Chain A
Amino acid sequence: MFLQTQAVTKDFGKLRAVNKVSLEILKGDVHAIIGPNGAGKSTFFNLITGYHRTTSGKVLFKGREITHLPAYRRCKLGITRSFQITSIYPKLTVYESVLMALLSHRKVTHHLFSSAKKFFNEDVWRILEDIGLADQADRLGDSISHGDKKRLELAVTVGTEPELLLLDEPTCGMSPEETEMTMGLINKLSQERGLTILFTEHDMGVVFGIAKRISVLHQGALIADGPPQEVRESPEVQKVYLGGAA
């Protein structure tokens, strides 16, 4: 059992954002969570990463209950997220941003008297090359293009060497070419680094292009869960999507 949620529920006042969602994510999968706006995708994500606390229900990671662990502890266990609104370091360089992720993950942030630049040189460059940011290494985070910021976000996330990677709308605001590239990247990460990836996405092309498994949320509840083909043919999903869109 890799990641499991047992009837997790999140209330914001009287609004029930996530309603008793029980879900399993298998190791090595590329797993998509879809649903209309306000379906509770981001909130569900936040319950897994620890950004929000569950109102009820349990979250288990590799058989261990993590429902009440704070975000940084979950990160240390191997659960990392990227942010929907790109969350970068504006005045650190691309290189420094990725280095920061490695410093933290490899537990050397308490080193007071050694030079940070001497740490993990090769690993930082490997990640930058994998993600295609090597030529931007010396530029400040806020001076690169939107697509590059998204990739930097991903590079920083990979820098924490996670087992489970949560991506919130990884292709949001990208051009078709950038989207294509990011999809390739996600595939690469899952295959070469053996990452389990859980992502939300509104672009159905992306979802059906790379997801091995899809879960559909609607008004906070899970209405379908399975391989792409099965989900596509589910009458309930069609009602939510086609009924809502038509």
Chain B
Amino acid sequence: MQTAQIEKNGTFRKGWWLVLLVVAAVVAPFVISEFYLAILGEALIMSLLALSFNLLFGYMGQLSFGQAAFYGLSGYTVAMLITKAHFNFWLSLLAGIFMAIVLGLLIGYFCVRLRGIYFSILTLAFGQLIFFVIYKWHNFTGGDDGIQGVFPPELLKSPVHYYFFILVVFVAATLILRRIVNSPFGYTLKSMRENSERTEFLGVNIGRYQLIAFVIAAAYAGLAGVLWAPFYRSMAPSSLMWIKSGEPVMAAILGGPSLFFGPVLGMFIMTFFHAWVLGFTVFWPVVMGALILIVIFFLPGGILGFSQEKLKERRERVQGTLEQGNVGMTGDQ
């Protein structure tokens, strides 16, 4: 009874924070400069990429080093459909996500047979393969020139409008993904991360579930990609490079892969820090490296993971003293 109450309070408090953050995000365009609004939009889009990565890493226990392939391919799909085929904007977005899903099925089919470092290397290899195809195929994709002039429809041309479009998609996608990780399917992923052999002996076809998770992650990376192309008005081949795939990895480590919003926090810190640091120096990777080192050495579990751990310890201590003080009472605190 008592634990149930505490749990309820806990989720209530957590929900409160989320509502507060969403309100802040809605108010933001009227408070911050256009420059920082663009950074905020970028952080939201990239957070979807981080969530995509962390479904595989934090929940399933497999480190993908190729998420940029899905992100880039879907972005390119949108960019090319809009600029070359003058396709309907909304249908282009759907086509982009569809391409990410197809690529996810294809790459996933090969990757989910592997575990650990072999999985990471194969996702990296596939990612680089897609990158080189787009980079070298100059006639079709524009090669290293990329694609420019990817304009959203009139309604979304203003930065504030496009920002709200991103926000709505982000909130909806996040809510859906959170349901997924707390569903029986999500539990199955977690159990595979903890001990996949045991899960197989519970009667689960490991390969199939890994593939489904891989495809969902690909769809989320694709969602980030289709939002990005019209947001940035262009697509460059560097969006498919392994360096791009590394960003969600760093975001997850920074924020904490064990918590749903850890990678989102990590991505926000990275994006804003990046924008801020570039005002002083171009040696951004050095600063980022130092930040990662600090987190790994002093905040194991990531910023959010570490603080959650400390909070829990404190709550347990408080609860311990409460229980000691209330021996014999019916616990109506």
Contact = CB atoms under 8 A, between A and B. Distances in A.
B179 interface: yes
Contact of B203 (A87, A110, A114, A160): A160
A111 B201 contact: no
A96 interface: yes
Contacts of B187: 96, 99-100, 103, 109, 116
Contact of A104 (B180, B188, B194, B195): B188
A105 B202 contact: yes
A119 to B, nearest CB: 6
B183 A88 contact: no
A242 interface: no
Contacts of A246: none
11 contacts: A72-B200, A81-B201, A99-B187, A103-B184, A104-B188, A109-B184, A110-B184, A113-B176, A115-B183, A116-B182, A116-B183
Interface in B165-217: 176, 179-180, 182-188, 190-191, 194-195, 197-206, 209, 212
Contact of A92 (B180, B190, B206): B190
Contacts of B176: 113
Given A49-B201, A99-B187, 8 more contacts: A72-B206, A104-B199, A105-B203, A109-B209, A112-B183, A112-B185, A115-B183, A119-B184
A87 B194 CA distance: 10
A84 to B, nearest CB: 13
Interface of B, secondary structure class, is: helix
Interface of A: 49, 71-72, 75-76, 80-81, 83, 87-92, 96-97, 99-101, 103-105, 108-117, 119, 138, 141, 156, 159-160
A109 B197 contact: no
Contacts of A75: 201-203
A116 B191 contact: no
A93 to B, nearest CB: 11
A117 B212 CA distance: 21
B200 to A, nearest CB: 5
Contact of B198 (A49, A88, A116, A119): A88
Nearest to B176: A113
B330 interface: no
A114 B187 CA distance: 11
A110 B185 contact: yes
B205 A87 contact: no
Contacts of A89: 191, 194-195, 198
A114 B198 contact: no
B324 interface: no
Given A87-B195, A89-B191, A115 B202 contact: no
Interface in B103-149: none
Top 4 A-B pairs ranked by shortest CB distance? A75-B203, A89-B194, A104-B202, A109-B188
